[in-house]
Amino acid sequence: MDKVHAGRNLTQQLVHTLGAAIVQGDYPIGGGLPSEAELCEEHQISRSATREAVKMLTAKGLLASRPRQGIRVQSKTNWNMFDPDVLEWVLKGTLTLNLLKEFLQLRLAIEPEASALAAENQNLELISRISLALKRMKAADAGLDDSLEADIEFHMSILMASDNPFYQQLRNFIDTALRVSIRFTNRIKGVQTADYSAHKDVYDAIVLGDTEAARSASRHLQSEALELIKNEMDK
């Protein structure tokens, strides 16, 4: 069993150990896991905790139980990529440009519309959070704040300001993936911090209630990052 993680019980530890192993290909797609008894012995954990871990991995789409076949590893198309645990395991594995491209394609479909909704709904309390994040980004340019955390906070605040619970519930997924993709795209551009002015364009349009300008400014941000990845793939 891996070193104990703070806040995780034995079942959760086994979920993370097996989940990461499945995603990394230690157990082949369509193949089975070791028997319940073998898992208990290997990880020094009770049968009840093992069964619960398998149930949790099944709920995440990594495993499936079939009559006369037992517990089998599911294909990637069944994995719940919106589950923060699954996404974390994927991102900690072999990170590929194609995976980053797919994530940015999703952001391009989500964030411009979230920005437009924020501009339309004008929830001033939630918009104020975008302002605070933008100020953090400005401070980061001067070395007075964490540029990655400020950038992520900006994008999370826009999802919240959409005032739409479906967009809001994507924040953990976006947060997890942004921690990888922002570092990667900034490295390609040869910069340490995000483009403050481009982010401010999104904020200004939201404050003005200009839905089309908010959508366009956000689309520009996502499209630029996507093009960077595509260009790297073409090299």
20-43 pLDDT per residue, tens: 999 999 999 999 888 888 889 998
Q: Which residues in the chain are classed under CATH 1.10.10.10? A: 10-78
Let me know: does 168 contact 162? Beta carbons within 8 Å: yes
Task: Find residue 65's DSSP bridge partners.
Answer: 71
CA 88-161-188 angle, to 5 degrees, is 45
Question: Is pLDDT of 130 > 90?
Answer: yes
Q: Which residues in the chain are classed under CATH 1.20.120.530? A: 95-234
DSSP summary character for residue 76: G
10-78 under CATH 1.10.10.10, yes or no? yes
pLDDT number for residue 66: 77
Residues 222-232 have a mean pLDDT of 90
Choice among 65-69, 165-169, 223-227 with the minimum mean pLDDT = 65-69
Let me know: does 98 contact 234? Beta carbons within 8 Å: no
Mark 3-34 as b/e (b = at least 16 C-beta within 10 Å).
eeeeeeebbbbbbbbbbbebbeeebeeeeebe
The enclosing H or E element of 88 equals helix 84-92
E strands along the chain, which residues? 63-66, 70-73
Give domain 95-234's CATH number out of 1.20.120.530, 3.30.499.10, 3.40.50.1100, 2.60.40.1180.
1.20.120.530
